[in-house]
A and B are shown apart, each in its own frame.
Chain A
């Protein structure tokens, strides 16, 4: 689960985060989370994918954008709900 928190940052640091977010094409939230994790010694970096080695046939080419996905959900009609039932059918379970 993702948890919410409010952080108070120096304006200059917030500006740097915004610039980094723009440069990397990530949301401000994701940029901040990754910067914090790196600062705490975590591994939120592209090295994580290379660690998966040869088992990975197709590495990801984009960062997950939850905000964009939510905009897509808002555009969906009611008929799209229940798509999991079609997946069950694809898997021979219906």
Chain B
């Protein structure tokens, strides 16, 4: 069984249908996983877009509904002690911002859990630097970095 960890940078593309979405949609029809952090990052990104005047209040509400719809279809992993430990461990060997590191650390914990059951985890991101860090922790062949927008 293959599960896919989707970073917020991948999920946000699904909100607006931007870029190449084949890998993301394939993951969404399988076992898509992300961090509870995505449920904070994505709505705040939409609010920021509204405050900058790029979208109307109605468009903001539509996008927030879309995010909720997407996140209802994704399994979410919490910020456990193990996740926090792995996030910090990831930043030891890679130059990473905290939120990026939390996503990679979460994926490391999920991978460990999956391996015990003989399952496989893939990692999908739109962020090259985070993708490099994920490749170092999860294996290069397990990581998909989406083409830049």
Chain A residues close to B by CB (< 8 Å): 1-2, 30, 33, 43-44, 48-49, 51-66, 68-70, 72-73, 75-77, 79-84, 86-87, 89-93
Whether, in the assembled complex, B110 has its beta carbon less than 8 Å from a beta carbon of chain A, the answer is yes
Expressed in whole angstroms, the Cα–Cα distance for A69 and B28 within the complex equals: 12
Chain B residues close to A by CB (< 8 Å): 1, 3, 8-9, 12-18, 22-23, 25-26, 28-33, 36, 41-42, 44-46, 48-49, 52, 54-56, 59, 62-63, 65-66, 69-70, 72-78, 80, 97, 99-100, 109-110, 113-114, 117, 119, 126, 149
Task: Assess the B72–A72 pair: CB atoms within 8 A.
Answer: no
Task: Assess the A64–B29 pair: CB atoms within 8 A.
Answer: yes
With a cutoff of 8 Å between Cβ atoms, the chain B residues found around residue A92 in the complex are 97, 99
Q: List 23 A-B contacts (CB under 8 A).
A: A1-B26, A2-B22, A2-B26, A56-B77, A60-B72, A60-B74, A62-B72, A64-B32, A65-B73, A66-B28, A73-B17, A76-B59, A79-B49, A79-B59, A80-B16, A80-B49, A80-B59, A84-B13, A86-B49, A87-B9, A90-B44, A91-B41, A91-B97
Task: Assess the B75–A69 pair: CB atoms within 8 A.
Answer: no
> Looking at the complex, which one of A1, A53, A63, A73 makes contact with B113 (CB distance below 8 Å)?
A53
With a cutoff of 8 Å between Cβ atoms, the chain B residues found around residue A75 in the complex are 62
Minimum CB–CB distance from B133 to chain A (whole Å) comes to: 14
Task: Assess the A86–B48 pair: CB atoms within 8 A.
Answer: yes
Expressed in whole angstroms, the Cα–Cα distance for A51 and B26 within the complex equals: 20
With a cutoff of 8 Å between Cβ atoms, the chain A residues found around residue B41 in the complex are 87, 90-91
Task: Assess the A64–B73 pair: CB atoms within 8 A.
Answer: yes
